[in-house]
Amino acid sequence: MKQLKVYRSSAGSGKTFTLVKHYLTILLKSESPYTFKEVLAITFTNKAAQEMKDRILHELQLMINDVDSSDMLPLISKDISIHVESLKLKCKSIYSKIIHNYSDFNVMTIDRFTNTIINAFSKELDLLPSYEIILDEKEFLSGAVSKFIDESSDDEKFLQLVYNIIDDSIKQGLKTDIEKQLNQLEKILILNQQKIKYYDQNFLQNIRRSLSTKMNDLHDEIIHQINQINQSISQYHILEKWSTYNRLSKLIKLKENLIEVDIEFIIQYASWVDDNKLFKKSLSKTEQVSVNTFLQVATPCIYNLLDHLKMYVRYRESIKLFVPFLMVNSLYSKLKELKTEQNIILISDFNTLISDIINNEPAGFIFERIGSRFNHILVDEFQDTSMLQWHNLVPMIHESISNGGENLIVGDAKQAIYRWREGDAQQFMDLPKLPSLENRVEYETLFEFGFEQGYLDTNWRSTTSVINFNNAIFSEVQTLFEIDNVKDVFHRSKQLTYRKDKGSVDVNFNDISLKDYLESSIKSIIDVGYSYSDITILIRSSKDGLEIANALNRLDLPYISEDSIYLFYSTQFKLLYHGLTYFEFGSKDDLKLFHHHLCVLKGEVASNSESILNIDFSYYRSLRDYHKLEFILSFLNLNIKDAFIDCFNDQYFQFVVSKKYSIHRFLDVIWDESKKISVDNNN
């Protein structure tokens, strides 16, 4: 094996199997049973690290007790020549040494490895030995923002800045929750701390005013364009009932609440115009003639309007960003101060902290300080490695190659599109080149000399139909994109099949309701002998998951999902949250949402939705806070034994009764807290 082996793979192609095989090959080729101490295997989750450890120990046990059942041994035998009895004795010795020196069994996450280096160099990093690692960075940032605002409330310049922002925002109809907007800076403040520079507030305020002026001018132009389209509707006697799902009136009604328009609506509307779906297909010939004449005039106007709406949204979202950016320097200083005061490190600080050490110290010295010398480094799921993490690993892999060590990198560039942990597909595609590294020449020569590339092209997991479908999709993708790096990512993505069962792929584009689609699809699967536990529904977003969960609830079908056990994602939570908010503030928006979730929960037009308008609010307001939720539950005749309702009730009791929160404060807190509260749901 070359000293830097890179395997490019796809889902189900045996990445972990390959890594474990190489790990064991290194151990079995060595004369010493302690070689495992010299091997570092890096994964990206604790679960994956534990699974890999278990897999290594399991394979060793198979080679000791049941050689014939080991799928790995025939492959390892290609690299080493050893008698079966000698192999058993060697595996037994290695297994024993690992068990009795388990802390030296170095299969770990990259964060844990980085923390090991930070521990070893804590003095150089000016850290106290008792530093605490913060995993929940959002919670820490939220606390820092609150403290920053509290401490800045006596600063006249700060207050004047806030007042000016609020005044401008009110004029433009924008929301003015300063604290919430500052919390949205999480990625800038936490993941890009080294890139934060000082921005002059006057300069930023001038840009914001300029954008506001352009946005206001564009607002007036958009209203004018909508009025022109409306005039054309009247001129050509176009009736609303001719429009598909009132799509024409949706465009006209934008002028009533333009500030709420979003990019998804604009894209969706453009597709309706492109696909000629603004009007019904069932129109009479006379009606169709009127519509065609109208569209000849109106279509260019609609496209022009949609372009202006896109620009309007860009201006609006840019203006929102200026609120936190005006304060980013002061807030960043507060973050640094709190981290020093509390002797804490954010997990995202790790790679920045050790970057200077690794770049300025020889790898051998670093290994000496951490108490381990790694002659072999194996990296799993390389596509999840951030640029900074990779730069920190390069000198160590270079040291390993220099000393004749074997290094393995396994990954799937296609999966880097998810950008988990700031993973970068390009650095995987570039190997053995290191274009993002400043001192690349120092390392590239040896990387290229030791480089060998392999492909894991057999899918061991999926059925033939699924693999053939994916192959067709990936093949088509390469022809659709002219960008070279996209083609590179999908190069050799075609997979071979292993399983003999055929399976099936069914692609549907239909307008039937989600409930009806799920009912017929799941029934057909169950009818051929599968059980509910054999079925998985993959989703694109939590919103999609919530819709599916609600449909499954209405069908009374059993399911479990990660989101389904969190309070926030339940219809019951949304119903009670918006109900309480409406009862407290009388907001029409909350009333609409209250009605909507009540209908979803009841599975029909809720019989008591109209009566809510006639409720005796004076009686409700006369109740003590801890009785108000009881009143709503009773009024709606909800099942208080329901897991989600019981959980909401419990949270209400804890905050309003035990902690003496007002209902207003409870509603502010519970929206975010509910995303962390899991419910023991029997579904």
> What pLDDT does residue 237 have?
92
Give the pair of three-digit tokens for residue 407. 């290094």
* Residue predicted with more confidence, 325 or 378: 378
Give the pair of three-digit tokens for residue 32. 């010493």
**What is the mean pLDDT of the segment spanning 598-624?**
68
**What is the mean pLDDT of the segment spanning 560-568?**
73
Per-residue model confidence as pLDDT tens digits over 507-552: 887 767 778 888 888 999 999 888 888 888 888 776 777 778 778 8
CA distance 674 to 566: 7
Burial (CB < 10 A; 0-12, 13-18, 19+), residue 300, is exposed
Per-residue pLDDT at 396 exceeds 70: yes
* Residue predicted with more confidence, 166 or 275: 275
Per-residue model confidence as pLDDT tens digits over 71-84: 888 888 887 887 88
> What pLDDT does residue 227 have?
94
Q: Which residue has the tokens 């399983």?
A: 499
Q: Are 636 and 598 in contact (CB under 8 A)?
A: yes
CA distance 71 to 62: 10
> What pLDDT does residue 453 have?
92
Identify the band that residue 194 occupies on the pLDDT scale cut at 50, 70 and 90: very low
Domain spans of the chain, in order of start: 4-113+347-454, 137-199+326-342, 209-324, 457-504, 508-683
Q: Are 411 and 382 in contact (CB under 8 A)?
A: yes
Q: How far is CA 524 from CA 231, 518, 534, in A?
A: 51, 10, 13
**What is the mean pLDDT of the segment spanning 422-440?**
81
> What pLDDT does residue 592 have?
86
Per-residue pLDDT at 264 exceeds 70: yes
* Residue predicted with more confidence, 194 or 637: 637
CA distance 330 to 240: 53
Query: Helix, strand, or coil here: 662?
Result: coil
CA distance 376 to 389: 17
Burial (CB < 10 A; 0-12, 13-18, 19+), residue 230, is middle
Mean pLDDT for all residues in the chain: 81
Least Cα distance to 215 among 162, 168, 253 occurs for: 168
Per-residue pLDDT at 480 exceeds 80: no
Q: Name the CA dihedral angle for 663, 669, 675, 680, rounded to a multiple of 10 degrees.
A: -50
User: Tell me, what DSSP letter sits at residue 606?
Assistant: -
Contacts of 188 (CB under 8 A, 6+ apart): 196, 328
* Residue predicted with more confidence, 491 or 407: 407
> Would strands 4-8 and 376-379 be described as parallel, antiparallel, or unpaired?
unpaired
| Complete DSSP assignment for 104-159 | G--EEEHHHHHHHHHHHTTTTTT--TT-EEES-HHHHHHHHHHHHHHHHTT-HHHH
Q: Are 497 and 467 in contact (CB under 8 A)?
A: yes
Identify the band that residue 363 occupies on the pLDDT scale cut at 50, 70 and 90: confident
Long-range contacts of 218-224 (CB under 8 A, 24+ apart): 218/308, 218/311, 218/312, 218/315, 219/258, 219/312, 221/308, 222/254, 222/255, 222/258, 222/305, 222/308, 222/309, 222/312, 223/255, 223/258
Identify the band that residue 1 occupies on the pLDDT scale cut at 50, 70 and 90: low
* Residue predicted with more confidence, 153 or 173: 153
CA distance 58 to 401: 29
CA distance 26 to 20: 10
Per-residue pLDDT at 640 exceeds 50: yes
Per-residue pLDDT at 360 exceeds 50: yes
CA distance 588 to 608: 17
For the chain, helix (H) and strand (E) counts, in that order, are 29, 10
Q: Are 325 and 192 in contact (CB under 8 A)?
A: no
> What pLDDT does residue 561 have?
73
Per-residue model confidence as pLDDT tens digits over 163-190: 565 555 555 555 555 555 555 555 555 5
Per-residue model confidence as pLDDT tens digits over 110-149: 888 888 888 888 888 777 777 777 766 777 777 777 777 6
Per-residue model confidence as pLDDT tens digits over 18-67: 999 999 999 999 999 999 999 999 988 888 888 899 999 999 999 998 87
Per-residue pLDDT at 682 exceeds 50: no
Contacts of 204 (CB under 8 A, 6+ apart): 322, 325, 326
Per-residue pLDDT at 579 exceeds 70: yes
Per-residue pLDDT at 196 exceeds 60: no
CA distance 587 to 667: 14
Q: Is the peptide bond before 558 cis (omega within 30 degrees of 0)?
A: no
> What pLDDT does residue 284 have?
92
Identify the band that residue 154 occupies on the pLDDT scale cut at 50, 70 and 90: low
Q: How much is the pTM?
A: 0.63
Give the chain's length: 683
Q: Is CATH 1.10.3720.10 correct for 4-113+347-454?
A: no
- CA torsion sign for 366, 370, 371, 373 is negative
Query: Angle at the Cα of 661 (from 655 to 664), degrees rounded to 5?
Result: 110
Report which listed range, 117-126, 176-185, 462-471, 479-488, is most confident.
462-471
Least Cα distance to 53 among 19, 90, 77 occurs for: 19
Per-residue pLDDT at 655 exceeds 60: yes
> What pLDDT does residue 241 have?
92
**What is the mean pLDDT of the segment spanning 412-423?**
66
> What pLDDT does residue 654 have?
83
Per-residue pLDDT at 395 exceeds 50: yes
Lowest mean pLDDT among 21-25, 268-272, 353-357, 484-488: 484-488
CA distance 304 to 276: 17
Per-residue model confidence as pLDDT tens digits over 288-346: 999 999 999 999 999 999 999 999 988 887 777 666 666 666 777 777 888 888 888 87
Q: Are 548 and 557 in contact (CB under 8 A)?
A: no
According to DSSP, the residues that pair with 132 across neighbouring strands are 344
CA distance 325 to 503: 52
Per-residue pLDDT at 386 exceeds 50: yes
